[in-house]
Structure 1
Amino acid sequence: MSSRIVVTGTGTGVGKTVFSAGLAHLIEASYWKPIQAGLEEATDTELVTRLGNLSADRVMPELYRLRTPAAPLHSAELDGIRIDADSLNVPVAGERPLIIEGAGGLMVPLTNSTLYIDIFERWQLPVVLCASTELGTINHSLLSIEALRKRQIRILGIAFIGRRNPDSESAICDIGRVRWLGRLPWIEPLTADTLHCVFKNSFVRNDFLA
């Protein structure tokens, strides 16, 4: 079976969508965002498709497209929709690897009784944790690592995003006992070409396919 990898973050806005685009291109994967909250601007699927240079057959449609950029539970309530957690089953991506991107952090509620981490626990797929390098990242990262370990979810490694911060990165990897996968710096201008070039120099393809 082809590799299936969940990409999650220590919180909202850490850069996991851009990371997912770079990873999808690097390992020639398909992409799936089960729940999209926020439709006024480019969706995460549209951004990954553009930055990852993904053809239409490598993009799985979202199960839920919610208008408001908020936690899926709240956004769904505003839209008059109830998310069915049991409907969140991993699609078949053929022979390609599949990148699955969550929403926000691990404890984001999907329903009144289901968090995103509950879905990850049911899937039992390896997780790449995306973490900011900014102030506060040690606490957020170690809490996320602890939550994943408590659910016995395999952590493939941690990918840092932002300015170089060797002290924080080392502390998280050493204390959390997780593999350092690399660091994606902020890219300006952010285009498909600049992302692919930087990503190739920042991460090792086989680290995600072993």
Structure 2
Amino acid sequence: MKIFITGIGTEIGKTVCSAILTHYYQAAYWKPVQSGDLHHTDSMKISDWAGENVVIYPEIYRLQLAASPHQSAAAEGLTIHLDDFRLPETPHPLIIEGAGGLMVPLSDNALMIDLIEKLDLPVALVVRNYLGCINHTLLSLMALQQRGLYLKYLILNGSFPPDTERIILKHTDERTVIIRIPEIKNPDRESITTMAKKINIENHE
């Protein structure tokens, strides 16, 4: 099992959701591009949250500037190329976490969705409720559909007004498994472990 975790934007809980799925599947974890926060990377968070035995593969790019990867790379005189990325060889299930959303630029010529397409992976899309989330979700669903990418999981992170959830699910492919994760305000190993035990994915697949 390999899956690429993306979101409808930034700061919507991809890393928390990645930690839960990493624990749930007893998976390895890979963040191809870390842009900023090198003192407390997403890989470090997964190591703290998902269990002491989790296998974490190193980032291909560790960029200093907390900005879009193409800008962070340019600040260091680098250009990110899609050919730089290869899936780690692993005997474990693998959770891959992107940076930001689908249309985040890796370079002037490549977007995050291009990397997903190159790696040929099913997708988990993390959605959080805020004013505008319906628009961002439906645009993301449309982009995945246009590229022929399989949305395996739609993760509803936190609570949603019924009217918002109804519209989102109406436009989601019936093959997609819906995962609901309650708000985790202060994630730690205990809360991630508890949530990983509560979700039940296999019965819906």
TM-score (norm 2): 0.93
- The Cα RMSD (Å) is 1.7
- Paired residues of 1:32 and 1:101 also in contact (CA < 8 A): yes
The aligned counterpart of 1:88 is 85
Match of 2:13 among 9, 12, 15: 15
Structure-2 residue corresponding to 1:119 = 115
Q: Does residue 75 of structure 2 align to residue 78 of structure 1? A: yes
Find the aligned partners of 2:146 and 2:114 in 1 and give their Cα distance: 11
Q: Which amino acid aligns with 2:202?
A: N
Asked whether 1:197 is paired with 2:198, we answer no
| Structure 1 residue aligned with 2:58 | 61
5+ residue gaps in structure 2?
none
Q: Return 5+ residue gaps in structure 1 as ranges.
A: none
Alpha-carbon distance in 2 for matches of 1:34, 1:40 = 14
* Alpha-carbon offset, residue 207 of structure 1: 6.3
Deviation for aligned residue 1:206: 1.8
Question: SS at 1:104's partner residue?
Answer: strand
Return the offset for 1:66. 0.2
Whole-angstrom distance in 2 between the partners of 1:84 and 1:54 = 32
Greater shift in the superposed pair: 139-148 or 118-127: 118-127
Offset of residue 123 of structure 1: 1.9
Q: Deviations over 1:52-72 (max 9, x none)?
A: 11426x110001100011110
Q: Percent identity?
A: 38
Displaced runs of 4+ in structure 1, greater than 4 A?
A: none
Question: What amino acid does structure 2 have at the position aligned with 1:74?
Answer: Q
Partner of 1:42: 40
2:106 and 2:34 map into 1 onto residues whose CA distance is 11
1:98 aligns with 2:91: no
DSSP 3-state at the match of 2:194: helix
Q: Distance in 1 between matches of 2:185 and 2:110?
A: 37
SS class of match (1:146): helix
Query: Structure 1 pair 72/173, CA: closer, same or farther in 2 (3 Å)?
Result: same
Match of 1:138 in 2: 134
Judge conservation of contact 1:160–1:184 (CA < 8 Å) in 2.
yes
CA distance in 2, matches of 1:77, 1:207: 45
Q: CA deviation at 1:40?
A: 4.6
Partners of 1:35 and 1:65 within 8 A in 2: yes
**1:162 offset after TM fit, Å?**
2.0
Q: Deviations over 1:4-53 (max 9, x none)?
A: 10000000000001110111001100000000001354100000111111
Q: Which amino acid aligns with 1:91?
A: P
Amino acid corresponding to residue 85 of structure 1 in structure 2? L
Query: How many angstroms apart in 2 are the aligned matches of 1:12 and 1:37?
Result: 12
Report the residue type matching 1:190 in the other structure.
P
Q: Give me the TM-score of the superposition, normalised by structure 1.
A: 0.90
Is contact 1:30-1:97 (8 Å) kept? Answer: yes
Q: Larger deviation: 152-161 or 162-171?
A: 162-171
Q: Is the 8 A contact 1:83 1:111 kept in 2?
A: yes
* Alpha-carbon distance in 2 for matches of 1:82, 1:63: 12
